[in-house]
Chain A
Amino acid sequence: MRNPAFDEVWGEGGDTSSRPGFEALAAWIAETPPQEFDRRQQAAEAAFRQLGITFAVYGEDEAAERIIPFDIVPRIFSASEWKGLKIGLEQRVHAINAFLSDVYGERKIIADGIVPAELVLANPQFRPQVAGVRPPHDVYAHICGIDMVRTGPNDFFVLEDNARTPSGVSYMLENREAMIRLCPELFEMFPVEPVDDYTDLLLSTLRSVAPHGRGSEPVCVLLTPGHYNSAFYEHSFLADAMGIELVEAADLEVDDDIVWMRTIDGRVRVDVIYRRLDDDYIDPLVFKPDSMLGVPGLMAAYLRGTVTLANAPGTGIADDKAIYSYMPEIVRYYTGSDAKLPNVETWRCREPQALKYTLEHLDELVVKLVDGSGGYGMLVGPTASSAEIEAFRAALKAEPHRYIAQPTLALSTVPTLTEKGVAPRHVDFRPFCLSGADGVKIVPGGLTRVALREGSLVVNSSQGGGTKDSLILADRPRRRGAGPEPLRVGAD
C-alpha cells in the first residue's frame, strides 16, 4: 500500500524526491549502507542497555526491564517550522497556567460561560483542596509536555497536553548523546540547536519558583515513587544531572508545616519539590489514605506556602481530555487571540449530538477515555475488529461522559530503519515547556515517538513504540561546509 501520509523527508511525493531543504538528509539516508545503519543501531541499543536506560512494563515480571527501541534516523525540523511551534507552545502553556490560576481562584471562565462549571468542578482531576491557594508567581504547570502531530507541510495539531508529570525528557537528552557519537556527520551537515542545557534550565526554573524569602540558594529535590516505577531511570537521571537529591517519601518529614529531608548530617529544609508522583499519592492525609508513597503533612506545608510543588497539585484538570476540547476557547479567553496551535477536531461524547455522530462513525474514529493514558482504554476505529467496536459502543452508551472521539489522522511519517530497510513510520512529537518566574522556556527539541509497526498509529512505549532524536535546525550557516556529499575518509 502506498504511504498516503505526509512524510517529513520525502513530502507528499513518495520516496522519489525530498522536500525542499531536506535533500541532504535524504541523500544521507540513501547513501548510508544498510549494514552501517544496522551496526550503529545495535551500538546505540547496546549502550542504552548498559547504561540501564530502561523502563518497566506494568504487568510484566519485575526483572523484565526493557529498553525503548531507538531509531537512528532522526527527525528534522527547519528553523522556521520550529519558530512557529515555539510561539504556539508558549501561548498554549501561558493559557494553561492562566486557566489553572483562574479555576482555583476567581473562576471567571466559568462565570463567563466559556467552560461548563460541572466539567471543571465535578472533574476527577479537580482538587478542591487547593482552591484559593496561589503558588509562587502563579505558576502551576512548571513542566508541560505537549503532544503534537503533523498531517501536512503546515498542519501541526496538539493531540494532548501533559501537565501532570510528563516523562520522556531523559530520552530527548540520551538520544542526542547517542546520535552525536554514532552519526557525527549529521552534525557536520546541519547546524543543530543544542538541547543539553535542558537540565540547567529545569533547575533554574525550579529555583525561580521557591517560596518567597527562601534566599538565593533554595533547596530543590526530585520526589520519585521509587525504583519500581517505570520512569525511575528518568528520575535518577534528572536528579543526577541537576545535582539535587533524589528522594522517596520516606526521606521527607513534615514538622510544623515545614518539609525536611533526612540526611546523615541532620535535617535539611526543602524549598522546592519536583514531584514525579501523582496528586493521589503525595499525601495520605489529604488524598489516598492507603498510599505508602506519600508524605503525611506535605499538603498542609504546601497550603501554608512553605514549600513549592512542581507541578502544583491540581494541574491535572488542564490535561483532562474533556477540558482539552475547550482549549481553543481557553487560549482565546486568556490570551485574546486565536490558538496558534490548533486542536485535533474533537467530539465530546457527553454532548448528545457528538455522541450520536460518534456512534454512527465508530469505524472511522479514535475514541478515548477522558482519563486514560499510555494508549490504554482507546479504540482505533479503522483497525479495530467488529467485536471491539461493539464493546466500545456499549461502553459509550453506558457512560458517554467518559469518552471523546477524534478523526483518525494521517499522522506524518519519518523514514525509519526497519527489518526491510528504511521505510516510513508514523510519529508524534513531545516538546517540553518550562514555566518559571521569568516566563516560559523551551529547549529546541523534544521527544519524537515512532510507531515501529507498519501502518500503526500507536506510538506509546508501553505499546511497542520507539523513539528518535529530533533535530531542530538553527537559523545560521553550517559549521563546516560538508554538504550532502557522503563523507570520504582519506580523500585528497
Chain B
Amino acid sequence: MLSRTASSLYWLGRYIERAEFTARLIEATIRLDLLSARPAGEGAWESALAVVSAEDSFWFTGESISPDSVSRYLALSQQNASSIRSCLDAARSNAKSVRTALTREAWEAINRAWLGVRDCKVSDGTPAALAMIEKLKAEARGFEGALHRMLRNEASFFVRLGAAIERADNTARLIDVKYHLLLPEGEKVGGPIDRDQWTTILHTVSAVTAYRWLYREGLRPGHVVDLLVLRHEMPRSIAASADEVVQNLNAIGRRLGRQGEADRIARVRQLMINRSTVNGIIAGGLHEFLQAFISDNARLDQAIAQQFRFQ
C-alpha cells in the first residue's frame, strides 16, 4: 500500500472521529448551559472552547462568547480548522483521493455527512444545532458500520488506528476540562454545579447509563475518572482507545511482517495504563496525568507517521 494512501486513511479516521466528538461536545454543552444556574452555564461555552484548544482562535473572530456564536464556530466555521465542517471537508478530500481503498458504503457515508453539513447555513438557535448534531451522529455510526464491513486489511486497520488515536486525545481533553472549568465562587466540590459538570462529561461520551450500571453510589469524580480512564470495557475510555491502537498496529505489523517504534510506544503506554489506579492518578494530579497522556499520544502519532512513511 502506498504511504500516501495509508496516511489518507489514517487521517480520514481521525477527522471523522473528531467531527463526531465535536458534535457530542456541542450537544453536552447545550445541556450543561440549559440545566445550570448562571454564571456556570455561560462558563460551559468557554470550557467547550478549552476542550478543543480553540479559545485563542475564537477570540480572534472578535465575537463574544454566546451559545450561538460558540456552537456556530465549533460546528460550521471555515476559519476553525477543527470545526465539524472543516473536519468533514478534510475527511471527504482524503476519502476521495483514496476512493478505491474504501468500500462504496464507507464513501457514501462520508459524502452524505459532508453534503448534510455543507448545506447547513448557520446553526440558528438550539433546536437547529441539536437536529444537525443528531444527523451527524447517525452518519458517523453509519460510517463505523460500513467500516466493519470492509475487508480486514490494511485499509480498514489504518482508518481504525486513526480513529483510536483521535479518540484517546479527545477523551483525555474532555476529562481535563474539569481542571479548566473552575467552580464558581461559593460552590463546593460535590455540590450541584460540580455534579452537573461531571454528568455533562459523561453525556459527551454517551456514558451516563454505563456509569449507573457500574457504580451504585451516585456520582463521584473518582468513579468518573475510573470509568473514562481505566475501564477497558468502556469504548471511549483512554484504556480502551490505547488497547485499540495496539490491536490495529499489531494487525498491520502481522501483514507487513515487521513492527517498529510506534508498536513499542503503544505497548509501553498500554502497560502504563494497566498498572495505574484511580487513587494513584489523583494523588499524582489528574491534570498532570492527562497532559502527559496527551503529549504521549502526539508522540505516538509522530511515530506512526514515521514508521509508515506518511511524509
Contacts and interface: CB of A to CB of B under 8 A. Distances in A.
| Binding between chains A and B | yes
Contacts of A263: 1-3, 309
B220 interface: no
Contacts of B93: 227
Interface in B1-26: 1-4, 6
B64 to A, nearest CB: 32
Interface in B96-137: 96-97, 99-100, 107, 118
Given A264-B309, A265-B256, A52 B2 contact: no
B139 interface: no
B263 interface: no
Contact of B6 (A226, A240, A247, A264): A264
B96 A227 contact: yes
Nearest to A237: B100
B154 interface: yes
B293 interface: no
Contacts of B154: 264
Given A264-B154, A265-B256, A248 B4 contact: yes
Nearest to B107: A52
> Could you say which interface size class chain B belongs to?
10 to 19
A246 B100 contact: yes
The SS class assigned to the A binding surface is mixed
A106 interface: no
B3 A240 contact: no
A232 to B, nearest CB: 8
B100 A251 contact: no
B2 A261 contact: yes
Contact of A245 (B2, B96, B118, B309): B2
A244 B100 CA distance: 11
A250 interface: yes
B100 A226 contact: no
- Could you say which of A226, A247, A264 has the most chain B C-beta atoms within 10 Å of its C-beta? A264
A264 B3 contact: yes
B211 interface: no
Contacts of A246: 100
18 contacts: A52-B99, A52-B107, A63-B118, A226-B97, A227-B93, A227-B99, A236-B99, A240-B100, A245-B2, A250-B4, A251-B2, A261-B2, A262-B4, A262-B309, A264-B2, A264-B3, A264-B309, A265-B256
Interface of A: 52, 63, 226-227, 236, 239-240, 245-248, 250-251, 261-265
Interface of B: 1-4, 6, 93, 96-97, 99-100, 107, 118, 154, 252, 256, 308-309
Given A227-B93, A263-B2, 12 more contacts: A226-B97, A227-B97, A246-B100, A248-B97, A251-B3, A251-B4, A261-B2, A262-B309, A263-B309, A264-B308, A265-B1, A265-B256
